[in-house]
Each structure stands twice: as C-alpha cells, then as structure tokens.
Structure 1
C-alpha cells in the first residue's frame, strides 16, 4: 500500500508549515508529514519554506536575520485560502510537542557548512528529547546538509530531495547513504521506481495533487507520495 505524507502539513487546505495545517493533516487521517526547516538568528529550527519572509508573511527580511521569538510574532498570510485565524510561524520543538505523527520527513533547506552542522545537531537533540529516533528522516537537496547528517547524526535516517534529472538521483542518494529518495513527480518513471527499490531506497514522490497521478504512481509501486491534499490522497488510494 502506498503511504501518504502531508506536504508542509496540508498546503492545499491550510496555511503551509503551520500548526493548523499539520493538525488538519492528522484530522484527515494522514499520520505522516513533510516539512521545511530554516535556522533563525539564534540558531533555532524554524518550520518555514522560504529564505525570505515576504511571500508568506508580507514582512521584509530573511529568516536567518530574525530570532525565533521575533518570527513567532509574524503570521502566515494565505489570502487564497482565506484562513479564518492567525497562524504563527512554529519552531520544530513546538510542532513535535503538538502533533503526534507516525513519521516525519524534515527537509533542511540549503545552509553553509557551519550552519548545516548546527541544524543537524539541533535536530538530533530534539529527536532524542521527543524519542522520535525511528520516526524521523532528515532530507535535503544540499550536499552540505547530508554530509553533516552522515557525520553528526548517523543514527537518524537520511533522504535526498531530487528535483532535477541532471544528476542521477539514485546514485547521489546512495553516495550519502540515504534510505529515502524524495523525487519530483516529473522525474518519476516506472523504470526509475524499480531501480530505486532495487537499491533499497524508499521512494517518496512530490508534489502529487491529481488523483490520476496518484493512481499511476500506485501502479508503479511507489512507496509514498507527498501531497498538498492529504485527505484527497487518502480517499483516492483507500480502495486501491
């Protein structure tokens, strides 16, 4: 059976990477999620996709130039969704404390070598604190982040996020001893799926929002998909 991960919580239904979105994912019966991590000025893990604050908050500046306390005064704006309540930017610690997912894909956005080490060590501390050792995979498209994860958190599983086909994503994932490959759906073929499975990789495909594509990936025997609409995916795949 193909597993379902909520993309940034439930990005198509609730403001992305917010407690409201992750709670909606759980309420839809989907107990796996994918999220994005940035580092704040005071080196806290912030659940936020963009480097810049403008798109999601309307504020100027970058996440790395603000403290976690400052960021939590900002609210995620999503006029398209017309969400009725304010949604502060959460820290990873807050999310771990509030939401009991069976598995988390934590995508660490590209960082410098030094900041990669800081982020990985911070994840490892939280994973230990919340006893999530077997329920977390650290993912990234960044070689710096994956190298840091190999060295400083070898006990936590790793995953490569692959959006482009110019590098062989399976070979690259194996280079960093990953157990998971998060593959853009445009790169997912039946042949590549079987090659990934033969290499022992869990293949997780993103971002999959159309029922026809969900069913096609199920036919390929993809291990999991990442979707903005976890309830829709769960219903679509429920009888497959």
Structure 2
C-alpha cells in the first residue's frame, strides 16, 4: 500500500510550511508530512523552504539573520493559494505540539559543515524532547548534512533527496547509511525502484500531483508519494 505525505503540509491548498497547511493535510486524513527547516539566528528550527524570506513573506534578508521571535511574526502566505488569515512562519516545536502526524520527513537544505552540525543536533534534541525519534526521518540532498547526520546523530533515520541521476542515487544513499530515498518522480523507473527496495530503502517519490501519475507510481510499488494535494491523493489511491 503506497503511503501519502503532504508536501510542505498541503502546499496546493494552503500557504506552504504553515500551521494552516499542516492542519489542512490532517483534515484530509493524511497523517504523514514533509517539511523544510532552517535555523534562526538564535538557533531555533523554523519551518520554511527558502534560506531567504522574500518569496513567502516579502521581507528582505535571510532566515539566519533573524531571531525566532521575529520570524514567528512574519506572515508567510505570499505566493501561495489565497488565504484569509495571516500565516506566521512556524517553529518546528509548534508543529510537534499541535499536529499529530504519524511520520515526519524533515528536509534540511544545503549548509556549511558548521551549520549542518548545529542543525542536526538541534533536530535530535527537539525530537528527543517530544519523544518521537521513531517517527522522524531527516532528509537532505546535501553531503554536508548527510555526513553530519551519520557522524553526530546516527540514531536519527536519514534520507537522501535525489533530484538528478548524474550519480547513482541508490549508491549515494547507501554510502551515507540512509533508510529512505526521496526520489524526484522523473527518476522513478520500475527498475530503479525495485533496486532501491532490494537494498532496504523506503522510496518516497516527489512531487506527485496528477492522479494518473499517482496511480502509475502506486502500480510500480512506490512506498510513498509526496504531494501538494494530499486530499486528492487520498481519494485517488484510497479505493485501490
């Protein structure tokens, strides 16, 4: 049975990576989500995709140049589907408190070695505090982040985010001791999927928004799909 993950919550229906978006995902009965993390200047894990504030909040500068309390005041609904109320940038801790997901894919963008180390240690601490280590996989396309996960937080499950096939994604995932392979849908051939699963990898395919593609990937045997429309995915795959 192919599982469904809401992409940045329910990105197609509510402003991405906001509490409203994750609540919308849960309203559809989808209990798994994917989100993106950046550290604030004062070391808190903030849920936002870009390192810059411009696209979703209209503010200038980078996430890392602002403290968490300031970031939590910024309305992050720019460029998303129309939304009536302000949607602040959430702290990861807020989502852990308010959203009962069964599983979380926490993606960390590329980072310097020092920043990667600080980020994965902050994730480990927060996940332990909420007692959900077994419900979290930290994912990244960054070698620095994967190396830090491997060396500093080996008890956290980790996953490689693969967008291009210039290096064999399965070999790269194995070399960092990954449990999950988040594969761009264009790379998800039946052969690659089977090979990854034979190596013990959970294959999570992104970003899958068309019902025909959802059905095809489920037929291939994809372990999970990451979608902007978790309600649509649930309706499409629910009667299989």
1:132-183 residue CA offsets vs partner (Å, 9 max, x unmatched)? 0110001000111111111111111000000011011000000000010000
Asked whether the 8 Å contact 1:58–1:77 carries over to 2, the reply is no
Distance in structure 2 (CA, Å) of the matches to 1:186 and 1:67? 38
In terms of mean alpha carbon deviation, does 70-79 or 163-172 score higher?
70-79
Distance in structure 2 (CA, Å) of the matches to 1:39 and 1:76? 16
| TM-score, L = length of structure 1 | 0.98
**Number of the residue aligned with 2:236:** 236
Please state how far the C-alpha of 1:79 moved relative to its aligned partner.
5.1
Distance in structure 2 (CA, Å) of the matches to 1:47 and 1:227? 18
Asked whether the 8 Å contact 1:30–1:234 carries over to 2, the reply is yes
SS in 1 for 2:133: coil
User: Given the alignment of the two structures, is residue 133 of structure 1 paired with residue 133 of structure 2, yes or no?
Assistant: yes
Please state how far the C-alpha of 1:70 moved relative to its aligned partner.
1.0
Please state how far the C-alpha of 1:80 moved relative to its aligned partner.
5.0
Q: Is there any run of 5+ residues in structure 2 with no aligned partner, and where?
A: none
Moved runs in structure 1, 4+ residues, more than 2 A? Answer: 77-80
Distance in structure 1 (CA, Å) of the matches to 2:223 and 2:115? 31
**Number of the residue aligned with 1:15:** 15
Q: Is there any run of 5+ residues in structure 1 with no aligned partner, and where?
A: none
SS in 2 for 1:150: helix
Distance in structure 2 (CA, Å) of the matches to 1:75 and 1:186? 33
Please state how far the C-alpha of 1:77 moved relative to its aligned partner.
2.4
Paired residues, number: 240
| TM-score, L = length of structure 2 | 0.98
Distance in structure 2 (CA, Å) of the matches to 1:117 and 1:197? 29
User: Given the alignment of the two structures, is residue 99 of structure 1 paired with residue 95 of structure 2, yes or no?
Assistant: no
User: Given the alignment of the two structures, is residue 108 of structure 1 paired with residue 115 of structure 2, yes or no?
Assistant: no
1:170-198 residue CA offsets vs partner (Å, 9 max, x unmatched)? 00000000010000011111111111111
Asked whether the 8 Å contact 2:15–2:21 carries over to 1, the reply is yes
User: What is the alpha-carbon root mean square deviation over aligned residues?
Assistant: 0.8
